[in-house]
Amino acid sequence: MISEIRIQNFKSIEDQKLKLGRVTVLIGENGCGKSNILEAITFATCAVRDQLDTSYLASRGIRDTEPWWMQSAFEGDPRSPRDKDRIQVSLTSTTKNVIFEAEIIPKTNKEDGSFSHWTVNYKSKAKTADRLEKKFSELEEPVINNTLEKVIEALREVGDSDEKDLESLRENPVTSLAHIFDTFSQYLKNSNFHKEEECSDFLIYAPENAVLRTPPAEGSVTPIGTKGEGLFRLLQSFSDPKFADRLEDMKERLKLVGWFDDFNPPDDHSVSQAKLQIADKWLPEPNRIFDQRSANEGFLYLLFYFSVMMSWRTPKFFAFDNIDSALNPRLCSELMIQIVELAKKYDKQVICTTHNPAILDGLDLNDEDQKLFVIRRNSRGRTVARRVPAPAPLSGETPVRLSEAFMRGIIGGVPNHF
């Protein structure tokens, strides 16, 4: 599980850390940077996979924009100079103490200065480089020079290095080798992070009503796309007898919708023709069975959320953007309780954004697995985050509900300029 993220120079975020829970909720006024936080994590996990092309980023939920809008446009604090062209993201694991830390840098075409591609530099740790330099300095000079020449020759064969840069490595062979091996060490750590933490599949789900009603064309996003593409295919996998308990669990949870009685996942061989069979407990036979085209919007959203949370095929770490869409306020609160239960039961980690105060009443902030952050733009326009602690009631008084504290502006997260 990811315990902490740090984001630098990404969109409205200059430099921000967040300590995550198993379930983390972000609130704040429109345009404060909630989605930017989700996109920065997505951008970093795409870098883990070395897939930073525009189409892949869009498939993970990052809004399609010009590359220069991905970088911070702020000048920065002169007391703490940074290279604003370098997007820097680090992800820290709780369980295995593994860290992914990298700079993501735009490269331009020499001819016209237009954007070419993103490159990933694995950040070097000064202490590690110093330790390596000390070890290399103890080796005999011929060994050092011979090793460096082999490295230079390998880099030359790859063909992605400037000849002047290669020649400069010979100016200080010990230091050059120390930094090269340190970079390689960081690369190995990040590769292990990719394999062990299963975070590189992170994406931002933002389901859409029209997509949830329409079976996808064959060959579309699997197991399920950010807007809900592939939901029917994913539901088909719950028909496997090995996972009958999960299907029954889902059906019980869907009874949050008062009219719901039962449903059967699609059994058609062609997913493009698939239909859900949904039963309304109030309707008489033979009209009690209908398909997704006649289902109400809220039911389809719940079906989507529960499918993603309960499936063994969906990522371990992901986000739901605007999780309150199309849901009754009281249902929002209960959904949040269910999301927390499902995250613990099926070993998922999720970040949710919301504008609905009722979502907050489904959180128990005394549980360290559940965290709430208020996101805002500070007086300099930078996105900043503040964790909301569990409410401490005054003696003899009932604590204010989180939804009320949100609406009244007690915990922040609402506009105060009108």
Residues 269-282: pLDDT tens digits? Answer: 555 567 889 999 99
* pLDDT tens digits for range 32-75: 999 999 999 999 888 878 888 888 999 999 998 888 888 887 87
Pairwise CA distance, residues 54 & 238, whole Å: 32
Mean confidence (pLDDT) of the chain: 85
Pairwise CA distance, residues 130 & 411, whole Å: 45
Number of structural domains in the chain: 3
- Does any domain span residue 238? yes
Pairwise CA distance, residues 230 & 215, whole Å: 7
**Angle formed at CA 376 by CA 370 and CA 377, multiple of 5 degrees:** 155
Which tokens sit at 7?
């984001």
- Does any domain span residue 351? no
Q: State which residues form the domain around 303.
A: 203-314
Q: Are residues 43 and 113 in the same domain?
A: yes
- Does any domain span residue 365? yes
Q: Are residues 163 and 217 in the same domain?
A: no
Q: Are residues 209 and 176 in the same domain?
A: no
Pairwise CA distance, residues 103 & 402, whole Å: 37
Torsion of CA 139, 140, 144, 145, to 10 degrees: 170
Q: Is the pLDDT of residue 124 over 70?
A: no
Return the minimum-mean-pLDDT range out of 9-23, 27-41, 64-78, 244-258.
64-78
Q: Which residues pair with 418 in a beta bridge?
A: none
Q: Are residues 116 and 5 in the same domain?
A: yes
Q: Are residues 168 and 143 in the same domain?
A: yes
Band of residue 94 on the pLDDT scale cut at 50, 70, 90: confident
- Does any domain span residue 343? no
Q: Are residues 305 and 406 in the same domain?
A: no
- Does any domain span residue 175? yes
Phi, psi torsion values for 121, nearest 5 degrees: -110, 120
- Does any domain span residue 373? yes
Q: Is the pLDDT of residue 31 over 90?
A: yes
Q: Are residues 71 and 27 in the same domain?
A: yes
Domain boundary among 246, 279, 314: 314
Query: Are 294 and 279 a contacting pair, CB within 8 Å?
Result: no
- Does any domain span residue 305? yes
Q: Is the pLDDT of residue 79 over 50?
A: no
Question: What does the buried/exposed string (b/e) look like for 123-145 if buried means 16 or more CB atoms within 10 Å of the residue's CB?
Answer: bbeeebbeebbeebeeeeeeebe
DSSP assignment letter at 222: S
Predicted confidence at residue 77, as pLDDT, reads 55
- Does any domain span residue 341? no
Q: Are residues 307 and 208 in the same domain?
A: yes
3-state SS of the chain? Answer: CEEEEEEEEECCEEEEEEECCCEEEEECCCCCCHHHHHHHHHHHHHHHCCCCCHHHHHHCCCCCCCHHHCECCCCCCCCCCCCCCCEEEEEEECCCCCEEEEEEEEEECCCCCCEEEEEEEECCCHHHHHHHHHHHHCCCHHHHHHHHHHHHHHHHHHCCCCHHHHHHHHHCHHHHHHHHHHHHHHHHHHHHHHHHHCCCCCCEECCCHHHHHCCCCCCCCCCCCCCCCCHHHHHHHCCCHHHHHHHHHHHHHHHHCCCEEEEECCCCCCHHHCCCEEEECCCCCCCCEECCCCCCHHHHHHHHHHHHHHCCCCCCEEEECCCCCCCCHHHHHHHHHHHHHHHHHCCCEEEEECCCHHHHHHCCCCCCCEEEEEEEECCCCCEEEEECCCCCCCCCCCCCCHHHHHHCCCCCCCCCCC
* pLDDT tens digits for range 309-360: 999 999 999 999 999 999 999 999 999 999 999 999 999 999 999 999 999 9
Q: Is the pLDDT of residue 82 over 70?
A: no
Q: Are residues 306 and 219 in the same domain?
A: yes
Q: Are residues 40 and 123 in the same domain?
A: yes
Pairing status of strand 2-10 against strand 87-93: antiparallel
**CATH label of the domain that carries residue 67:** 3.40.50
Measured CA distances, 207 to 8, 19, 165, 381 (Å): 28, 26, 48, 30
Residues 229-247: what's their mean pLDDT? 90
Record the pTM.
0.83
Which tops the pLDDT comparison, 134 or 1?
1
Residues 111-116: what's their mean pLDDT? 86
Q: Are residues 113 and 161 in the same domain?
A: no
Which tokens sit at 134?
């000390």
Q: Are residues 171 and 213 in the same domain?
A: no
Percent pLDDT > 70 in the chain is 85
Give the sign of the dihedral formed by CA 314, CA 316, CA 322, CA 327: positive
Which tokens sit at 116?
């070419």
Q: Is the pLDDT of residue 196 over 90?
A: no
